[in-house]
Structure formats: C-alpha cells, structure tokens
Amino acid sequence: MKQSINILISGGGTGGHIYPAIAIANELKLRFPDANFLFVGAKDKMEMEKVPQAGYQIKGLWISGIQRKLTITNLLFPFKLISSLWNASKIIRKFKPNVAIGTGGFASGPTLMMANRKGIPTLIQEQNSFPGITNKLLSKKANRICVAYDHLERFFPIDKIVKTGNPVRQDLLSIHSKTKEGKTFFKLDSEKKTVLILGGSLGARRINQLIESNLEFFKSQEIQIIWQCGKLYFDEYKEYDALKYVQVHQFINRMDFAYAASDIVISRAGASSVSELCIVGKPVVFIPSPNVAEDHQTKNAKSIADKHAAILLKESELDTFPIVFETLIKDEGKRQNLSENIKELALPSATTDIVNEIEKLLKG
C-alpha cells in the first residue's frame, strides 16, 4: 500500500506571508497530486479566510505578536504561547506530517518549533532582507532556509541557506505582452503616463496622504493615476474617483493588468511587493513603512536602491517628493536604467526552486 504524503504549512498575518504559502502548496500539489495538506494560522487573522478560499484546510492557533507598548495583549502573550505550543503539538500528532514549512507570521513559530521537537524535517521561507526574531530562533533546528536576499549568513547557519527568491503570482511573468490589454481594462488614455500607487492590501496612511496632497501636481504633469488606497482607507478617498485622471480602488484584482499599464510604480517595500516589482521591471519609488518589526521594509528597499534599481524615499523625506518625481518623469534614460537594473534582480523560478528543496527533504 502506497503511503500518502502529509504536508504541513504555516504562515500568515499578512498577504506577504499567506500568498507565498499558497503558491508553495499549489506547486507541491502539481508534483504530489495525492498529498494531504494542512495549514496552521493565527485565529482572527486573514489566513483563516484566504487559505480556505484557495481550497486548503486550516487550523487556527490563539497567538499574536508582542506590541511595542505595554498592553493587555502583551500580558496574555505567555498564555497564548503555551496554548499555541500545546495545540500545535496536538495538530502534528494527529496529522503526522512528513515535512513542515513556515513562511513567517505568528503561527509559524509554535508550529515549526513543535515539528522540530518531534523530528519532522522543516523548511523556513524567509522573505525579508532582515529576518524577524522567530525565524532566527527556528533556524537553529530547521533543515533548510530559503531566502530572497544575499548576506543572510549573518543571521542563519550558512550551510542551510539556499537563495531561491520569493514566490510570486505566475500571471506576472508575461506582463510585457499585456500593456495594451491593461490600458483597455483600466480605460486609460494611451497618450498619457500612468502611475500605479500601492500601499499593501490594507492600505498605507502616509502614502494616501501624499497622493491626496499632490493631486494637482499630478494633473499639472498630465499624469493619470491608478490608486489602490486599501480597505481601511477606501471610504476616505473614494471621492477622488470622480476626477477624470484618477481611479481609486479598494483592492485591485487584476494586478497583472495594473502593472502592465503603468509607467512608474509608487509602493511600500514589503518582501512580496519587492519580489513582484523585480519581475515586473518598471521604475519604482519605494516608500517603506517605518512601523514594521526590525524596520525590515526600509532594509528591503535599501538593498534594491543600493544597486541603482529603485528610488528609496523615506517617510521623513516626503516633502521632497515633487522634485524627486518630476526628475524621474522627465528623465527617460533614468527610468530605463532603473527598469533594466531591477529586472536583473528578479528570481522568477522561486516557487519551483523552493519546492525542489522541499522534495529533497521528503526524499530525505
């Protein structure tokens, strides 16, 4: 009797942890059609909705991060951790995984910790150029660590590191043939330059404020805008959709068309966004969020800007935005350079390469 393969995957909290986890699962499913999959996430986080939508089963742990200031949540943290370790152990005992994969987020800590303790092979997929504390701890026992940036041997055992890149949506690999389709889809004027604004799935307050205060400036430059303002801010900014040169979206479902139609992208610097933008190969202005753990968005953006492949503009420097932007829009050579340089950093076969490593662990 052929024994079936059981694959345990944990990752969540944000789209940046969930979508790579789903991309890895999808690729594994193609290779092992009879495998059983189980995801472990944090209760009340977006993975509890997104993972079942993608067709996979998920169990939730009672876990959250530690806040920077003293809160009730922080006082509950030790109890949440004990509860999560206990429940993760129970899930593993029942599911009997052949391999456990962590893509980051609160739940992956307890899940991989218990998998390591039970001698199950584990793989960490680290998306950022500067890892968080959980992955640093997990790396000591992990069998393989797939990374997207150079120089991570400062944090992880060098013999376990494999540079694969971050999984990205497969429909982005062909965006260069979709420019016309993208412009039609968004009803754009093909004579004008288009700027795509991205602040992550929930939105970014400072980027939204920046765009709002520069609407007249964009108009004077004859720029049209596709503005994903995010779920949290849509009610506040949707009125600007009435302007002829502005489109305000809560969320963009056809990101391939949005990227294909744009000439310049203004974006946060979460790991998934950075990896996508390398494949897309458009000139980018990164405005990293300073409010994330270890300030990793600034470090992600800096690693690209240092290679002359993007412009990094900190939130503290946003008053210089009109000058920076006008220089970029008027200098075609600079845009071309940024475009070529960022494309060279793309790792389009990341998902396949990560799954190759998982397959090695399964064959053990």
Confidence at residue 364, expressed as pLDDT on a 0 to 100 scale: 82
| CA count, 13 A, side-chain hemisphere, 234 | 11
> 328 and 296 in one domain?
yes
Is residue 165's pLDDT more than 90? yes
Classify 2 as helix, strand or coil. coil
Phi and psi at residue 165, to the nearest 5°: 95, 180
Q: Does a structural domain hold residue 1?
A: no
Confidence at residue 199, expressed as pLDDT on a 0 to 100 scale: 87
> 266 and 235 in one domain?
yes
Q: Which amino acid is at 286?
A: F
Q: Is 65 annotated as a binding residue?
A: no
For residues 312-324, average pLDDT: 96
DSSP code, position 336? H
Is residue 240's pLDDT more than 60? yes
> 139 and 12 in one domain?
yes
Confidence at residue 70, expressed as pLDDT on a 0 to 100 scale: 67
CATH number at residue 107: 3.40.50.2000
| 39 contacts: CB under 8 Å, gap ≥ 6 | 8, 9, 10, 11, 21, 25, 47, 51, 56, 57, 58, 59
Over residues 10-41, the pLDDT tens digits come to 988 887 889 899 999 999 999 999 999 999 99
Total domain count, the chain: 2
Over residues 109-159, the pLDDT tens digits come to 999 999 999 999 999 999 998 898 889 999 999 999 999 999 999 999 999
Q: Which helix (H) or strand (E) holds 351?
A: helix 350-363
Q: Is 105 annotated as a binding residue?
A: no
Between CA 345 and CA 7 the distance in angstroms is 31
Answer for the pair 145, 162: CB distance below 8 angstroms, yes or no: yes
> 354 and 335 in one domain?
no
Q: Does a structural domain hold residue 43?
A: yes
In the structure encoding, which two tokens stand for residue 58, read together?
A: 């998920």
Is residue 77's pLDDT more than 90? no
> 323 and 358 in one domain?
no
In the structure encoding, which two tokens stand for residue 11, read together?
A: 């990752």
Confidence at residue 68, expressed as pLDDT on a 0 to 100 scale: 59
Q: In what order do the strands lie in the sheet with 246-249?
A: 246-249, 223-228, 193-198, 264-267, 284-286, 311-312
Percent of the chain with pLDDT over 90: 78
47-56, 184-193, 199-208, 266-275: the lowest-pLDDT one: 199-208
Q: What does pLDDT average to over the chain?
A: 93
Q: Is 12 annotated as a binding residue?
A: no
Is residue 64's pLDDT more than 80? no
Answer for the pair 109, 16: CB distance below 8 angstroms, yes or no: no
Confidence at residue 67, expressed as pLDDT on a 0 to 100 scale: 60
DSSP E strand stretches across the chain: 6-10, 36-42, 58-61, 99-102, 122-126, 144-147, 161-163, 193-198, 223-228, 246-249, 264-267, 284-286, 311-312
Q: Is 133 annotated as a binding residue?
A: no
Between CA 56 and CA 25 the distance in angstroms is 9
Between CA 360 and CA 364 the distance in angstroms is 6
> 353 and 323 in one domain?
no
> 179 and 316 in one domain?
yes
Q: Is 16 annotated as a binding residue?
A: yes
Confidence at residue 82, expressed as pLDDT on a 0 to 100 scale: 84
Q: Is 252 annotated as a binding residue?
A: yes
- With b meaning 16 or more CB within 10 Å and e meaning fewer, what string describes 147-185? bbbeebeebbeeebbeebbbbbeeebeebeebeeebbee
Confidence at residue 121, expressed as pLDDT on a 0 to 100 scale: 98
Answer for the pair 221, 323: CB distance below 8 angstroms, yes or no: no
Q: Is 119 annotated as a binding residue?
A: no
Q: Is 298 annotated as a binding residue?
A: no
> 125 and 175 in one domain?
no
Q: Does a structural domain hold residue 14?
A: yes
Q: Does a structural domain hold residue 41?
A: yes
State the pTM of this model.
0.86
> 12 and 35 in one domain?
yes
Is residue 291's pLDDT more than 90? no
Q: Does a structural domain hold residue 188?
A: yes
Between CA 289 and CA 296 the distance in angstroms is 9
Domain with 88, as residue range(s), is 6-167+349-363
> 161 and 175 in one domain?
no
Classify 21 as helix, strand or coil. helix
Answer for the pair 315, 243: CB distance below 8 angstroms, yes or no: no
In the structure encoding, which two tokens stand for residue 196, read together?
A: 């795509």
Over residues 299-313, the pLDDT tens digits come to 999 999 999 999 999
Is residue 72's pLDDT more than 90? no
For residues 185-193, average pLDDT: 96
CA torsion 233-237-239-244 (nearest 10°) is -130
**DSSP string for residues in 166-180:** ----GGGTTGGG-HH
Is residue 1's pLDDT more than 50? no
Let me know how long the chain is. 364
> 159 and 298 in one domain?
no
> 274 and 299 in one domain?
yes
Instruction: Provide the pairing of β-strand 223-228 with 264-267.
Output: unpaired
Classify 70 as helix, strand or coil. coil
Query: How many Cβ atoms from other residues are within 10 Å of residue 202's Cβ?
Result: 14
Answer for the pair 160, 230: CB distance below 8 angstroms, yes or no: no
* Higher-pLDDT residue of 100, 272: 100
Answer for the pair 282, 340: CB distance below 8 angstroms, yes or no: no
